[in-house]
Amino acid sequence: MKPDVVSHKGSDDKPAVILIHGLGMDKDIWVNPLNSRILGGMFPLRLLLKKKYPGREQGEEIPTLFDDLSERDYSVITWSQKRPAGPIDSVVAELHEVVKIADNMTGDGIILIGHSRGGLIARKYISENHDFIRGLVTISTPHKGSSVAKISGYLSPVISLISPLIPAGDKGSFTFAVKRILEFLKSRAIKELLPESNFFRSLKDGPSDHICYTSVGGTNPTLFNLYNIPVPDVFEQVIPSNLYPEELKKGKGDGLVSAESSRIPWAQEHHNFEFNHAEILFDEEVRGVLMGAIDKISSSAV
């Protein structure tokens, strides 16, 4: 079965860019964010977007890297992973097929851009085959793993704290939402992102001389509010301070990935921004920095 792709054909003289979405997301994160779903399709992405973006009040779409690349005449392609919450290796097989499509759109190589787990998918692909790859750009990718999966054990006390604040008529939907989040946090795909997972133990990669590496990470851990209680602030009340993960600390993480983990270990360029795990994709300044890195890769000697 062919990948479910969306693409734009640009100049043959520029690298083609492949955009790789994160765990439990879909291609709309790049091409139609307000229609995108998170946590395996359970909730709308806008749940994580607190900042106002140009045009959002009028119901217009939020600008993305897909738009920026298209306007700058890059060929760009993205797809919805068949198993967005499946193991990384299953998605790497899909990326092989997408690379074949992208290679026919350019005569100047390929740049891989991954958000969150998408960056690890790109690294795994490059470790096996990097002949056509000019650059790797990652956005809030847990290169050293993420400890967020471990907080699932603390959700029960959180529910007890918040439940009395919830109107009686909303309790059913709240319980359902928490149940789905708990299921997601306990999933095999999330556990694969733990620092001690088999995936990280088996990932044998390193810098390649002909590939440029850039990464960005976020430092605002507030993802959303549950009845006016910021998440993850509520976790501070139930998680022991010595176990409180960097991903959830203000100035240290974006709510799912720590700023330290978001840096490619051999990155030539890295930037941190005060955004959460989702907002960092759409901010104009962040997109400007990423486009600058892409242009630099495009103009570098092959």
pTM value is 0.88
How does residue 60 score in pLDDT terms, banded at 50, 70 and 90? low
pLDDT at 154: 59
CATH architecture of 4-145+193-229+246-299: 3-Layer(aba) Sandwich (3.40)
N- to C-terminal Cα separation, the chain: 33
pLDDT at 56: 47
Give yes or no for residue 226 having a pLDDT over 60. no
What region, left, alpha or beta, does residue 87 occupy, with left being phi > 0 and alpha being psi -120 to 50 degrees? beta
Q: Would you report the helix, strand and coil content of the chain in percent, each value rounded to 5?
A: 40, 15, 40
Place of tokens 């989702």: 278
| DSSP codes of every residue in 138-203 | EES--TT---GGGGGGGHHHHHHHHGGGS-GGGHHHHHHHHHHHHHHHTSHHHHTTSTTSHHHHH-
- Per-domain residue ranges of the chain: 4-145+193-229+246-299
Tokens of 177: 């939402």
DSSP structure class, residue 121: H
Tokens of 184: 């997601």
Average pLDDT over residues 153-164: 58
pLDDT at 225: 54
